[in-house]
Structure 1
Amino acid sequence: MRIDLTGRTALVTASTQGIGFAIAAGLAAAGARVGVSGREKGKLDEAVRRLQGEVPDGDFVAVHADVVSEEESARAVEVLPEVDVLINNLGVYGFQDPLDITDEDWRRYFEVNVLAAVRLTRAYLPRMIEQGWGRVQYISSESSVAIPAEMIHYGMTKTALLAVGRGFAKKAAGTGVTVNSVLAGPTHTAGVEDFVYGLVGRDKSWQEAERIFMREHRSQSLLQRLIAPEEIANMVVYLSSDQASATTGGAVRVDGGVVDAIIP
């Protein structure tokens, strides 16, 4: 299968590292012009340099904005007023005792993980519908279905994204625009390494820490390893393509088999 996104413009939120970075590289390699989004200018510029090194022919646009705020979301839209592919990847996570999660924490997780994505969808979906083609994706998680006891506030927001994706897919019904959520499983990023060490202790090698984490905290994984960011990106690039034209309103799994269900 040859995926060709030539002539398409994409925006990937929180794409200076991890899954977002891999998605930006994958979309650019398929020919898309890619908006790379980040709130720290130095980190953003460095990410764009790294992406240009990985995809020499890639067309990247630096979008310096913290899209959690309304004002900076508007700035992102000014930089990229027309987007064909919107990848809502921004998210925060962290483990916390459920009884210690404050009202402020609940609000922050919702505003970062859900509301920022809704706001950008409102900004870009109308033009996609008008032109008769577009792709909107929400990077959700297996935690949306298998809520982790150690971070239910995170799981709640990822469940909300499934509802958001299904709802906007209905809004776009019959227009040529598809809207989907991607259930990403436990993925090997720098942030996840810190998360894993925080759970199992820092007195271990990474290989041992990963084994313990998968065995004790994600034992339902059929891979029994963390997923590479590029493996998530592969699905996102496919869902961004013409080949995925019949997949919409879905919760598509790249979870390593963590969700114990036959039907997604």
Structure 2
Amino acid sequence: MKIDLSGKTAIVTGSTSGIGLAIAKGLAATGANVIVNGRSQDNVDRAIEAVRAEPSAGTISGFAADLGTAKGCDDLVAAFPRCDILVNNLGIYGRQDFFETDDARWMQYFETNVLSGVRLARAYLPGMVGAGWGRAVFISSESGLSIPSDQIHYGCTKTAQLSIARGLAKRMAGTGVTVNSVLPGPTLSDGVAKMLEAEMAGTDKTFEEVAVEYVTTHRPASIIRRPASVEEVASMVVYACSTQASATTGAALRVEDGLVDCI
């Protein structure tokens, strides 16, 4: 299958590392003109160089802003008013006990993980409707279906993304605009590496080895018995953004190692 997105403009939020950066690279390889985003200009510049170092047929530019705020989203839309492909990848996560998670932390997660995508979809999808074609993808998580007891605040925001994407797909019915969710599971990303720093400290184990142990211990339902790579997740996202995926909308596309036990 040859995916060609030449001439399409794609915005990937939270894309200076990890899954987001892999998605940016994957979309650029299809010919899309990709806009990467991060909170700092230094990180954005490094991401641009990383994408340019890969085989790419599209152009790459960047925008530094915290899209977990209304102002950040407004500034992005002002700088890049047109978007054909919106990948709402921005997200934060971390383990914290429910009884130690205060209102401020709940609001931080909701603003970043949920409202960033809501605000950008509200801004960009009407233009996609006018063009008769568009793609929106929300990067959710298997934690939105199997809520982790040590990350209830995070799991809740991922469930919210699934609801928004499904409802928005219905709202876009008949317009040529598709809206889907992609659900990664444990992934070999920079964020997971940071989360597992304590487990790695004082050992001679690699990140990959510790990550496999984490999966087998904390996600024993995993069928592939390992974390996914960021490229494996990105491949699903790129397909969902393609012209070939025109009949796929309102879907929750799973790249979660087979963790979710349903058929």
Relative to the length of structure 2, the TM-score reads 0.96
The 4+ residue runs of structure 1 with deviation greater than 2 A are: 55-58, 200-204
Map of 2:103 onto structure 1: 103
Secondary structure at the aligned position of 2:196 is classed as helix
CA deviation profile, 1:94-114 (whole Å, cap 9, x unmatched): 001111111111111111000
- Determine if contact 2:12/2:35 at 8 Å carries over to the other structure: yes
- Determine if contact 2:31/2:56 at 8 Å carries over to the other structure: no
- Determine if contact 1:197/1:209 at 8 Å carries over to the other structure: no
What does 1:1-264 correspond to in 2, within 5 Å?
1-198=1-198, 200=199, 202-204=201-203, 205-206=205-206, 207-262=208-263
Which 10-residue stretch deviates more, 108-117 or 208-217?
208-217
- Determine if contact 1:4/1:241 at 8 Å carries over to the other structure: yes
Percent of paired sites with the same residue: 49
Which 10-residue stretch deviates more, 123-132 or 54-63?
54-63
Q: Which amino acid aligns with 1:156?
A: C
CA deviation profile, 1:25-83 (whole Å, cap 9, x unmatched): 00000010001111100111111011111135430011122111212211111221110
CA deviation profile, 1:209-230 (whole Å, cap 9, x unmatched): 2232112111111111111001
Give me the whole-angstrom Cα distance separating, in 2, the residues matched to 1:55 and 1:156.
37
Gaps of 5+ in 2: none
CA deviation profile, 1:137-184 (whole Å, cap 9, x unmatched): 000000000111110110000000000001111110111100000011
Give me the whole-angstrom Cα distance separating, in 1, the residues matched to 2:215 and 2:197.
12
Q: Which amino acid aligns with 2:258?
A: G
Secondary structure at the aligned position of 1:211 is classed as helix
Give me the whole-angstrom Cα distance separating, in 1, the residues matched to 2:59 and 2:212.
39
Give me the whole-angstrom Cα distance separating, in 1, the residues matched to 2:186 and 2:174.
34
- Determine if contact 2:30/2:56 at 8 Å carries over to the other structure: no
Give me the whole-angstrom Cα distance separating, in 2, the residues matched to 1:18 and 1:227.
12
Relative to the length of structure 1, the TM-score reads 0.96
- Determine if contact 1:52/1:58 at 8 Å carries over to the other structure: no
